Amino acid sequence: MADHAQAALACLDRALREKPDVDGKVFSEAAKALSQLRNDLADRQRRDGASADSRRQLEHVNAVISVVLGAHFPLGNIPWAEVEKARGWLAELSSADGTGQLQ
C-alpha cells in the first residue's frame, strides 16, 4: 500500500513540476497507483472491519482520485491549484504511513 501511495505521490510531484498541457500520461499513472491503493484499503477494511480512521483514509484516497481525474480530463483549464491540494492530502495520508496505517 505504501508503495502505491509513494508512486502516486511521485506522479503528482512530476505533474506539478512539468505541468503537461494535455493528457499528461502522468495522470494516468497516478490514477493507476491510486486505484490500487484504494482497492487495498477497501479490501483491508472488509477484512479487518471498518474504523473511523480506515474510512477517512479510504475517502481521502477517493478524493485524490477525483481530483486527478479532473486534471486528466479537465473541463476547461487543468485545475493545477486543486492538484496541488490533492497532493497535500495524499502526502498527509502517506505520512500517516509512519504510524502503520498504510502498512
Interaction site with another protein (CB under 8 A): 19, 21-23, 25, 28, 31-32, 35-36, 38-39, 42, 58-60, 62-63, 65-67, 69-79, 82, 85, 89, 92
- Least Å from the CB of residue 91 to another protein: 11
- Least Å from the CB of residue 82 to another protein: 6
Instruction: Quote the crossing angle between the two packed helices 52-72 and 2-18, to the nearest 10°.
Output: 30
Pick 16 or 79: Cβ nearer another protein: 79
Give the long-range contacts of residues 20-26, CB within 8 A, separation 24 or more: 21/78, 23/72, 24/71, 24/72
The torsion angle over the Cα atoms of residues 42, 46, 47 and 49, rounded to 10 degrees, is: 110
Pick 92 or 98: Cβ nearer another protein: 92
DSSP 42: H
- Least Å from the CB of residue 63 to another protein: 5
Pick 1 or 78: Cβ nearer another protein: 78
Distance CA 55, CA 94 (A): 15
- Least Å from the CB of residue 71 to another protein: 7
